[in-house]
Structure 1
Amino acid sequence: MKLIWSPETATKAYIETVKTCEKFKESGVAELLAAMAGGWEAKLIVEAWSYGGPIGTSIGLAVAARHTCGRHVCIVPDERTRQEYIKAIKDVAAPPPPIPEVVVGDAAAAMAALGGGVDFLVVDYNRRDFGRVLRSASAKVSSRGAVFACKNAWQRNVSGFRWQWALERGTRVVRSVFLPVGKGLNIAHIGSPGGSGGVEGSRKGPSRWIKHVDQRSGEEHVFRE
């Protein structure tokens, strides 16, 4: 399946998230992920939320799901976290976004219960089971591939993190990048099962090269969008 990138949907999701999340201070994380999920035209957006964590990203993903006519599912470990998550969503200034589907339980069981293939995943490094979430999600990637994003990357040893170590064996990482947004974002484009999953062969327009400088190490990274 060819990759479709929708600048219009990305822009709409970004602008609405900016307006909705004005009172949250997540350093642009919510807006960036909303735009990415919208532009990717994600039909199944999954997030793994931690108790007491910021809710801005969840709002952005809910906005993106509305613009893509997709599903937004949140995986939480227990009933206490589920109640806190729903309360946080409802406390957003009116009008609140639609309440996402909430699945309670172990990461592997929750992923198995989703039904469809994952297009877009956001997981918090602060979750104790973040590794299990990544492995379980990599076994449920949609037929066109997926985007995986890990928040709060500064909480871990960024230089020591390797996507291939965290994902199901045989999962192909088409490309990855670390962004110093918020408390750090690790983002990877996961190839489709048994296919190329890449964008170069399906793009009609020219590729765009982006330069990113790690603000801590000063290391420069160049990747193609």
Structure 2
Amino acid sequence: MKLVWSPEMAAKAFMDTVKSCQVYQGSSATELISAMAAGWNSKLIVETWSHGGAIATSIGLAVASTHTCGRHVCVVPDDDSRVEYAAALEKAGMSPEVIVGEPETVVKGLDVIDFLVVDSRKNDFERILIAAKFGLRGAVLVCKNASSRAASDFRWLSLFDDHGSRRIVRSVFLPVGKGLNIAHVAAGESGSSSDKKQKSRWIKRVDRESGEEFLFRK
């Protein structure tokens, strides 16, 4: 089984997120992420968050999980972050699951993830991506706040070249909000990529007009 895109589910999550976040002037990163999570019918949606972070994306993910009848988990580093996050989501009428702990360790212990959102401004975001488990359906990975660091410095290929056999079908940087780095991971064996060895050779091609990266297996 692979991730199958549902335009109807994406549209519903998009509109409900607009209403929940009270955003009326066009789309933003929040609506886009919510629509993507719902459109892929994500059953396990995971995000990382810490004290002082923006809450809009979390509301969008909570909305998406209601449409997919999925599980929305937020990983926070300490109790202060947990209290702040829970209070903000409760104010919006939502109560997602919150887990306190080292994000890399917590993510490694979760079941296979369909949709993962991390913050590019945090130094551990690459380790979190590597630790996550993806199942036979594949997964979508989102790095928000990507424009806060040189976007060209981060490459999905270099990340997964050194850590296992996960295959990136397509990746793109979108100048939406504060920047989004997004990748679709192909369906493969369940489990962490760090437990497997990559035997095939990968060839990368970059579309000069759009900036999108395409990977081909040889």
TM over 0.5, yes or no? yes
Q: Is the partner of 1:72 in helix, strand or coil?
A: strand
* Correspondence for 2:121: 126
Aligned mates of 1:158, 1:223 — CA distance in 2: 13
Q: Is the partner of 2:98 in helix, strand or coil?
A: strand
Pairs aligned (count): 196
Q: Is the partner of 2:18 in helix, strand or coil?
A: helix
Q: Offset of 1:160 from its aligned partner?
A: 1.5
Quick check: 1:50–1:124 contact (8 Å CA) kept in 2?
A: no
Moved more, 62-71 or 25-34: 25-34
Residue pairs, 1:188-203, within 5 angstroms: 188-194=183-189
Identity of aligned residues (%): 53
* Correspondence for 1:105: 101
- Aligned counterpart for 2:173 among listed residues 169, 173, 178: 178
Aligned mates of 2:102, 2:25 — CA distance in 1: 30
Residue pairs, 1:164-175, within 5 angstroms: 164-167=157-160, 168-175=163-170
* Correspondence for 1:187: 182
Quick check: 1:24–1:56 contact (8 Å CA) kept in 2?
A: no
Cα 1:79–1:182 shift into 2, 3 Å:
same
Residue pairs, 1:137-176, within 5 angstroms: 137=132, 140-167=133-160, 168-176=163-171
Aligned mates of 2:121, 2:35 — CA distance in 1: 23
Could you list the runs of 5+ residues in structure 2 that have no partner in the other structure?
A: 191-206
> Which residue type is aligned with residue 63 of structure 1?
V
Aligned mates of 1:105, 1:159 — CA distance in 2: 30
Q: Offset of 1:113 from its aligned partner?
A: 3.1
| TM-score, scaled to structure 1 | 0.79
Q: Is the partner of 2:143 in helix, strand or coil?
A: strand
Residue pairs, 1:28-67, within 5 angstroms: 28-67=28-67
| TM-score, scaled to structure 2 | 0.82
Q: Is the partner of 2:61 in helix, strand or coil?
A: helix
Q: Offset of 1:165 from its aligned partner?
A: 3.2
Aligned mates of 2:70, 2:52 — CA distance in 1: 26
Aligned mates of 1:8, 1:53 — CA distance in 2: 30
Quick check: 2:44–2:114 contact (8 Å CA) kept in 1?
A: yes
Q: Offset of 1:128 from its aligned partner?
A: 3.0
Aligned mates of 1:88, 1:56 — CA distance in 2: 10
Quick check: 2:42–2:68 contact (8 Å CA) kept in 1?
A: yes
Aligned mates of 2:156, 2:130 — CA distance in 1: 10
Residue pairs, 1:7-46, within 5 angstroms: 7-22=7-22, 28-46=28-46
Q: Which runs of 4+ in 1 moved over 6 A?
A: 24-27
Q: Is the partner of 1:220 in helix, strand or coil?
A: coil
